[in-house]
Structures are given as C-alpha cells and as structure tokens.
Chains A and B, each alone.
Chain A
Amino acid sequence: QKEVEQNSGPLSVPEGAIASLNCTYSDRGSQSFFWYRQYSGKSPELIMFIYSNGDKEDGRFTAQLNKASQYVSLLIRDSQPSDSATYLCAVSGNTPLVFGKGTRLSVIA
C-alpha cells in the first residue's frame, strides 16, 4: 500500500515569513510529485509538480525533491494571509495519485 505522510498541522507562520511544508512517501519507485492547495469549502487546485531531484521554483513557491530520502517539500516565501489553506502532497501511483491527508497552514497577519 503506497503511503504519503504529512504533518496535519496547523502550521502557523507570521505574514512575510517562509512557510515550509513537508511530505514523505513510501514507494521508492514513484516518479512524479505534486502539491495542491485546498481552501476551506473548495476543491483542490494544482500549485506545482516536480519530477527531478532538486529545487523547482514558481513565483513564491519552491518545490524540493529528494528521492533518496523519499522526501518532498514546498516552501512558500513571503507568506500572505491568503496562503492560509490546506496543502496536499500527492505522489504518482498505479493510476490515481496517492494523496496525503494535508497540512493546514495558517498565516497570521
């Protein structure tokens, strides 16, 4: 059974700080990794994906992948109150993505 683990939080950070969200996965053969954001009462929306070891930057977001450690992270720079949401890590599986339960982020103004 493929598993994706995330700290449920809440992770509280002050406005303007860097938020660091972490995720570990069990299947060493996984190739693709995704971060989704889900606001309360809404459906998930894709933030970014990463396939290769290292960092991938997109605006204020940076995804980091370390396949040897089976670890994926998402950094949010200059966090804003509008970033307050649940962040879901997802990993490629046989067919559907395998989702973690999500980390709730709260950015305090």
Chain B
Amino acid sequence: GAVVSQHPSWVICKSGTSVKIECRSLDFQATTMFWYRQFPKQSLMLMATSNEGSKATYEQGVEKDKFLINHASLTLSTLTVTSAHPEDSSFYICSARGPWGETQYFGPGTRLLVL
C-alpha cells in the first residue's frame, strides 16, 4: 500500500516554457502533499506543503509565482514550473501523507532539464 506516482518521469524543455508535474496517491487519500527539489549530490530541499483545497505553503526563498502548486483533490497535486530556466533543472520529488499520521511516502521523482 501507500503508492505515490509522478508524471512525467523525465522532461526536457526549452528555456521560457512552462512544465507541469503531476503527483498522485494511488491507493490512499493524501491529506497533505509535499514538493521537494534535489540537486545532484545534495540533500532534499522542501519547496512547499499543500493541503487539498487550500493554498500551498511555500518555504522561505521559494518563489510561489514561479512554482505554482495546485492540490485539487485528495489524490492529485500538481507543480507547474513557469518560465523555466536552466537553473531550474533538477530532480523534483513529491511525497504524500495520509490520514494515518506523519509517515510520508515519496513518488519516484521527475527529472527536469531546461535547455
């Protein structure tokens, strides 16, 4: 149980375009979802926390107008990287937490390359 999927797993885009990444909880209702970014050989960096039906809470230094998060249902959250630039190239990982408590289950991640 507690499976989280992400789509796409890989995306390559041109600078200036927008990219949408989906995160789905497949076998449970996710009360809260989290978005992380990880650069090569670095630790996880929390970007934002989202609860279904409410605005996301962004971590300090994360531009909310650049990284748009929508948590429209209890099984789906999306992260849109707007006007992507090469420095946005990274590994984006979502995680989800269900009603059982604090355990977070991670999706497989999305690798973004902005040319």
Number of A interface residues at 8 Å Cβ cutoff, please give it: 19
Count, A-B residue pairs, CB within 8 A:
40
Is B106 within 8 A of A95, CB to CB? Answer: no
Give the size range of B's interface with the partner.
Answer: 10 to 19
Is A88 within 8 A of B44, CB to CB? Answer: yes
B73 contacts the other chain (CB 8 A): no
B101 contacts the other chain (CB 8 A): yes
Complex contacts, B95 vs chain A, CB 8 Å: 44
Residue-wise, chain B 1-45 has the 8 Å CB interface mask toward A (1 for contact) of 000000000000000000000000000000010100000000110
- In chain B, positions 99-115 with a C-beta closer than 8 Å to chain A are 101-109
Residue ID in chain A nearest B106 by CB atoms: A43
Point out the residue from A34, A43, A49, A101 that lies within 8 Å of B93, measured CB to CB: A43
Q: Which residues of A contact B (CB under 8 A)?
A: 32, 34, 36, 42-46, 49, 88, 90, 92, 95-97, 99-102
Complex contacts, A32 vs chain B, CB 8 Å: 101-103
Is B109 within 8 A of A43, CB to CB? Answer: yes
Pick 22 A–B contacts, CB within 8 A, sort by A.
A32-B101, A32-B102, A32-B103, A34-B103, A36-B106, A43-B93, A43-B107, A43-B108, A44-B106, A45-B106, A46-B103, A46-B104, A46-B106, A49-B103, A90-B104, A95-B49, A95-B57, A96-B49, A96-B104, A99-B43, A100-B43, A101-B43
